[in-house]
Amino acid sequence: MSPEDIIGHLLNLLSHEEHCAITEQLAVDQVTCVIVERLRHRLTVLEVDHIHIQAPAELAGSTCQLLRRFLDENPAV
Please report, in tens digits, the pLDDT of each residue of the chain (77 residues total).
788 888 899 888 999 999 999 999 999 999 999 989 998 888 887 776 767 778 898 999 999 999 999 999 998 87
- Rounded CA gap, 1 and 11, in Å? 15
pLDDT at 73: 92
User: Taking the model in full, what pTM does it have?
Assistant: 0.53
pLDDT at 75: 85
Return the half-sphere exposure (C-beta side, CA atoms, 13 A cut-off) of residue 32. Answer: 16
Return the half-sphere exposure (C-beta side, CA atoms, 13 A cut-off) of residue 21. Answer: 10
For residues 35 and 41, is the Cβ–Cβ distance under 8 A?
Answer: no
Return the half-sphere exposure (C-beta side, CA atoms, 13 A cut-off) of residue 4. Answer: 1
